[in-house]
A and B are shown apart, each in its own frame.
Chain A
C-alpha cells in the first residue's frame, strides 16, 4: 500500500517500510489519561463528515492533494507536529478557525471560500482531510466542528481518526521537522 504524488512542487512518496516506526510509535503513544472524560475521540467527528481509513487517506493524497483540489490538514499544534507528520499535509490548529478568531475569514478564503456581504460560499473550497495525534485526542474533531460552524460543507471534509498513532504503528512514511 503506497502513494506517490506532487505536493508543493515536490514528489512525495508514502510507503509502509518505515525503519523508524518503533521510535515514532513510542513518541506518539498515549498511555495516560490526562482528561477527565471523553478522552477517546468518537468515531464520528460531525454529521455528514466521513471517517476514513488509511487506504482512503492515501487515495485522498493522490487524487485530491496531488491535483491541488484538496488539502490534508494536521490539526495539532506545531510543537506536536515537529515530532512527525503525514507527508503532504499542512498545519491548521483549531483555534485559528475558532469563530472568535478575527483572522478566521482570511483562513477560510485561503481554503478557497469566496465571500460576499459577510457570507461565504464554499463551491470552490478545497476538499479537506483532517487528522491529529490519533484517537487519544480530539483536535481534529474540534477543527471539523469549527469549519462546519463557518459553513464549510461536511461532504468536503474527511476525518482520519487513526491519526499519527495508527499511522506510525502501520509503518507508513513520516516526515519530521517544520514542513
Chain B
C-alpha cells in the first residue's frame, strides 16, 4: 500500500512488462519486420539459385554429348515408329515437326552408335526423299479450285468454247505439230485461235487468277496450255452440278481417249509409255484416261523414277496402269 499509494494518481507508472501493445499495431510491426528479413533472404537465395543453375548449365554444356544423349535417345526411341510412317512425304508439316529427332539422333555416340546407324540412315534417307510439289487438296480446296475454273471459263471467249463443248460442237483431234501428233480441242462456233486461248490462260495465270499445276509442265520445259484448256473446260463442266454438264465432261473424255495416238509397249506385264517432247503428265493422263486430272495414277505408279509430277523427261519410260 505504501509504494502504490505514493504513486502519482495522475501520472500512473507504466513498466515495460505491463505494457501491452494493441493487437493491430503488433501485427503491423511484425509484418514489416518479417518482410524486410524475407526480402533479403530471397534476394540472396535467388542469386544463389541463379548461380547454381547457371553452373549446372555450364557444366552440362561442357560435359556435352553424354548428358544430352539421354534426352536424344529417349526422344528418338519414343518417336521411332512415327518418322517412318509419316515421312512418306505427304505432309510437309509433319516432316518439319519431326526434324528435331533427326538432328538430335546424330549426337548420340558411344556404343549405341553402331546399332542405331541403320535406323538412323533409313530415317534420314526417308526425310531426304524428294517431296511432291503437289499435295493432296482438301475437299474445300478442291471445291475452291473448281469454282475458280468455272469463273475463268465463264469469261468471254472461254465461255463460248465451253458452250460449244456443251452442245457437242467440237472435236478432239490428234494434230501434227511437227513434233508428232498432239490432242487438241477444236470447236467451230468459237472463232478463236489456239494462240489467243493460250494467251488468255497465261494472262490469267500471271494475274494469279489461275494456278498452273505442276502436272502441266512439259518434258521440254514449257507449259502445256492445250491440256490446261481441256482440263479447265472439262472441270468446269463436270462441276457445274447438272447431268448435262457431267455428261459433256464424260464425252470429252471419251473423245480424247479415242483420238489419242499414244503408243505403248508391254514389258513384263506392264504397259509402258515413253515420254515424248511436249508431253506433260496431265497430257499423258488425258491420253490414257480421258482426263488430265487423273495424272496422279501415273505418278503413283512411277514414284521410283518420278520425283515430282512436273519433272518428267523425254525418253523416260512410264508405267501406265490399266484404265
Q: Do A and B come from one complex?
A: yes
Chain A residues contacting B262 (CB-CB under 8 Å) are: 123
- As a 0/1 sequence over residues 267 to 294 of chain B, the CB contacts with chain A under 8 angstroms (1 = contact) are 0000000000000000000001110000
A8 within 8 A of B: no
Q: Say which one of B6-14, B56-64, B229-237, B250-258 lies at the interface with A.
A: B250-258
Does B263 contact A124, Cβ atoms closer than 8 Å? yes
A119 within 8 A of B: yes
Does B289 contact A116, Cβ atoms closer than 8 Å? yes
Does B257 contact A117, Cβ atoms closer than 8 Å? yes
Does B253 contact A117, Cβ atoms closer than 8 Å? yes
Does A121 contact B264, Cβ atoms closer than 8 Å? no
- As a 0/1 sequence over residues 97 to 138 of chain A, the CB contacts with chain B under 8 angstroms (1 = contact) are 000000000000000001111111101100000000000000
B105 within 8 A of A: no
Taking the closest CB of chain B, its distance from the CB of A25, in whole angstroms, is 41
Does B323 contact A115, Cβ atoms closer than 8 Å? yes
Taking the closest CB of chain A, its distance from the CB of B128, in whole angstroms, is 38
A151 within 8 A of B: yes
Taking the closest CB of chain B, its distance from the CB of A32, in whole angstroms, is 44
Does A114 contact B323, Cβ atoms closer than 8 Å? yes
Taking the closest CB of chain A, its distance from the CB of B223, in whole angstroms, is 25
B260 within 8 A of A: yes
Q: A114-B323, A117-B290 are in contact. Are A123 and B260 (CB under 8 A)?
A: yes
B261 within 8 A of A: yes
CA A151 to CA B260, docked complex, whole Å: 13
Q: A124-B263, A124-B264 are in contact. Are A119 and B258 (CB under 8 A)?
A: yes
CA A114 to CA B263, docked complex, whole Å: 10
Chain B residues contacting A120 (CB-CB under 8 Å) are: 258
Chain B residues contacting A115 (CB-CB under 8 Å) are: 323
Does B250 contact A121, Cβ atoms closer than 8 Å? no
Taking the closest CB of chain A, its distance from the CB of B119, in whole angstroms, is 45
Chain A residues contacting B289 (CB-CB under 8 Å) are: 116
Does B263 contact A119, Cβ atoms closer than 8 Å? no
- As a 0/1 sequence over residues 296 to 323 of chain B, the CB contacts with chain A under 8 angstroms (1 = contact) are 0000000000000000000000000001
Does B261 contact A117, Cβ atoms closer than 8 Å? no
Does A123 contact B323, Cβ atoms closer than 8 Å? no
Task: Report the nearest A residue to B255, measured CB to CB.
Answer: A119
Does B263 contact A123, Cβ atoms closer than 8 Å? yes
CA A116 to CA B259, docked complex, whole Å: 12
Q: A114-B323, A115-B323, A116-B290 are in contact. Are A121 and B257 (CB under 8 A)?
A: yes
Taking the closest CB of chain A, its distance from the CB of B169, in whole angstroms, is 19
Chain B residues contacting A123 (CB-CB under 8 Å) are: 260-264
Chain B residues contacting A124 (CB-CB under 8 Å) are: 263-264
Taking the closest CB of chain A, its distance from the CB of B77, in whole angstroms, is 50
CA A144 to CA B290, docked complex, whole Å: 27
- As a 0/1 sequence over residues 238 to 256 of chain B, the CB contacts with chain A under 8 angstroms (1 = contact) are 0000000000001001100
- List residues of A (67-123) whose CB comes within 8 Å of B's CBs: 114-121, 123
Does B250 contact A117, Cβ atoms closer than 8 Å? yes
CA A20 to CA B180, docked complex, whole Å: 49
Does B263 contact A116, Cβ atoms closer than 8 Å? no
CA A117 to CA B253, docked complex, whole Å: 9
What are the 10 closest A-B residue pairs judged by CB atoms, nearest first? A116-B257, A119-B254, A119-B258, A116-B323, A123-B263, A123-B261, A124-B264, A117-B254, A123-B262, A121-B260
Chain B positions within 8 Å of A, measured between CB atoms, are 250, 253-254, 257-264, 288-290, 323
A-B contact pairs, 16 of them (CB 8 A): A114-B323, A116-B290, A116-B323, A117-B250, A117-B253, A117-B254, A117-B257, A118-B254, A119-B257, A120-B258, A121-B259, A123-B260, A123-B261, A123-B264, A124-B263, A124-B264
Other than A119-B257, A121-B260, A151-B258, give 16 A-B pairs with Cβ distance below 8 A. A114-B323, A116-B253, A116-B289, A116-B323, A117-B250, A117-B253, A117-B254, A119-B254, A120-B258, A121-B258, A123-B260, A123-B261, A123-B262, A123-B263, A123-B264, A124-B263
